Chains A and B, each alone.
Chain A
């Protein structure tokens, strides 16, 4: 909606000066540091909170570095009329970005790929038999994209599901790793993701040691994949502990 009458003029984002920034990754040698000064196997600080949206049955806000995500869970509620009868419950996921989430202003439209990835990552963890004939809606909004968006959305969504009291086998924690040359960096930021040679993401249920989703893209060798998976699984179990303690705190707060 343009602020003035007439057709909206075309605009562009004043990108930083032509002089391209020196790439953060400097060749094959180990002599470089991450833009935010972290060690390679070090995750960004995480802030988690449940009950962010009162209108929803359950919700969570997760902030990992500059990546900020809100997830609301609605239901279990009646499935759409057109849906076939189903013995088990349905899961409906949707991921949207705000227009200001990305460095260049976007359209704020649905992210179809992430929506289906989120669905697949959660499906295995939820006990769908507990809500037959009904649907649980999981809606995510990425307020700010700072890298590793999908893993943050997945972890946040499982926290919101727990807040809504949906039965699950375990929480789903998710972490990704980027391969930059010979190095593996965990929990990459946007800048690192743009230079990466390959990426590996794991969503898993830490206390059952089961993986719900594994996605590998790019250039990987078998030993590297093993190393990256171990790195991710360790980080997932740590993130799982943080998520668990967040839920425990919320529960003890509500008792007081």
Chain B
């Protein structure tokens, strides 16, 4: 290979780790030429993904998603609110993404990570616009009381593709969500009906005995790719993201419809063919993720 840079000549003499640190871009490009990545993945393959539902007992719905080392913990807590005048028969979802200092050496206490509000907004936009959740299902008594679902996602370990892992944990938390049975007391406040009381006679009838689970239509799944020269690298690690900066995130729903496409700048310009390739990779990934989610859900039912 004709390498114009001096580092090419050094590469044969240097130890691999030193070369990786001193010439990270060249290190990665040398791998890409062989159509392989430093962690032995083919260019278009995502890392191993696992999903566990019900990780937090104090929440109404929760899930732990792991893509490679990237770990996300999502949990939903249901609270009660008065619906707004404009939409009296709709509930609300508040989504927040947190990057606590434990997740990465870059984040320090008191100085929140720059990425956190960006991912937070992206998640919020994606989940609300995908139409996965019908907000009308969160209504309890039209015009009077409705659910506010607080979805908080914590990044426990940041190793690239944060949005993909966060979205996966978020949809999994929604599919695990079990809405508590509540009734209205005489003051008009909503109170939880405990399980012992459920069987016996009640002073006030529960208002939502039927609606314990949300119907999730068209679940969104995503894949982040790096564009670098002519290569498309699926599901990048933090190291790859820091070296090759052009990212494209494609979100498709379970029926293959495009929900959102996000390319936050970067030095590489995306041609339509590259975008199409990203979409094709995502389409494949959606099938994988759907299968992982279904398996996690059927595991829950057995227990």
Q: In the complex the two chains form, is B154's CB within 8 Å of A141's CB?
A: yes
Return the CB mask of B46-71 against A: 1 if under 8 Å, else 0: 00000000011111001000000101
A5-48 contacts to B, CB under 8 A, are 6, 8-18
Q: Is the CB of B80 within 8 A of A12?
A: yes
Q: Does B287 contact A (CB under 8 A)?
A: no
In the complex, what residues of A have CB within 8 A of residue B69's CB?
54-55
With A1-B94, A4-B92, A55-B158 in contact, is A100–B152 under 8 Å at CB?
Answer: yes
Bound complex: CA A154 to CA B157 (Å) = 21
Is B185 an interface position by the 8 A CB rule?
yes
Q: Which of A8, A54, A59, A100 has the most CB of B within 10 A?
A: A100
- Consensus secondary structure, chain A interface: loop
Which of A66-74, A179-187, A228-236 sits within the interface? A66-74
CB distance from A173 to the nearest CB of B (A): 21
The answer to whether A139 touches B77, judged by C-beta atoms less than 8 angstroms apart, is: no
Partner of B102, one of A8, A11, A140, A145: A140
Q: Given B76, B94, B98, which contacts A108 in the complex, CB threshold below 8 Å?
A: B98
CB of A223 within 8 A of chain B? no
What is the minimal beta-carbon distance from B100 to any residue of chain A, in angstroms?
A: 5
Q: Is the CB of B185 within 8 A of A18?
A: yes
Residue in contact with A54 in the complex, picked from B98, B148, B159, B194, CB distance below 8 Å:
B159
Question: Which residues of chain B (226-246) have a CB below 8 Å from chain A?
Answer: 238
Across the interface, B100 reaches (CB within 8 A) one of A13, A14, A141, A145, namely A141
Interface pair B191/A143, CB less than 8 Å apart: no
Contact between A99 and B77 (Cβ–Cβ < 8 Å)? yes
The range of chain B's interface size is 35 or more
**Is B290 close to A, CB under 8 A?**
no
Task: Decide yes or no whether A96 CB sits under 8 A from chain B.
Answer: yes
In the complex, chain A residues whose CB is within 8 Å of the CB of B120: 1
Quick check: is A170 within 8 A (CB to CB) of the other chain? no
**What is the number of residues of chain A that contact chain B, defined by CB distance less than 8 Å?**
48
A53 within 8 A of B: yes
Cβ A55 vs Cβ B124 within 8 A: no
B75 in the interface, Cβ–Cβ < 8 Å?
A: yes
Alpha-carbon separation in the docked complex, A223 to B93 (Å): 54
Q: Which residues, 117 to 153 on A, are CB-close (under 8 Å) to B?
A: 137, 139-141, 143-146
Q: Is B156 interfacial (CB 8 A cutoff)?
A: yes
- When distances are taken between beta carbons in the complex, the residues of chain A under 8 Å from B154 are 98, 141, 143
- Assess the B152–A9 pair: CB atoms within 8 A: no
B105:A98 contact, CB within 8 angstroms: no
The answer to whether A17 touches B102 (Cβ under 8 A) is: no
Binding site for B on A (CB under 8 A): 1-4, 6, 8-18, 52-56, 59, 66, 68, 70-72, 74, 77, 94, 96, 98-103, 105, 108, 110, 137, 139-141, 143-146
Report the 9 A-B pairs with minimum CB-CB distance, sorted nearest first.
A11-B79, A3-B93, A72-B102, A100-B75, A54-B69, A139-B101, A11-B81, A94-B109, A9-B81
Q: List chain B positions with a Cβ less than 8 A from chain A.
A: 55-59, 62, 69, 71, 73, 75-84, 87, 92-96, 98, 100-105, 108-110, 120-121, 124, 128, 148, 150, 152, 154, 156-159, 180, 182, 185, 189-194, 197, 238
- 7 interchain pairs, CB-CB under 8 A: A3-B93, A11-B80, A14-B191, A105-B77, A139-B109, A141-B154, A145-B58
**Known contacts A14-B79, A16-B194, A55-B69; 6 further A-B pairs (Cβ under 8 A):** A11-B81, A13-B79, A16-B191, A17-B194, A72-B102, A100-B75
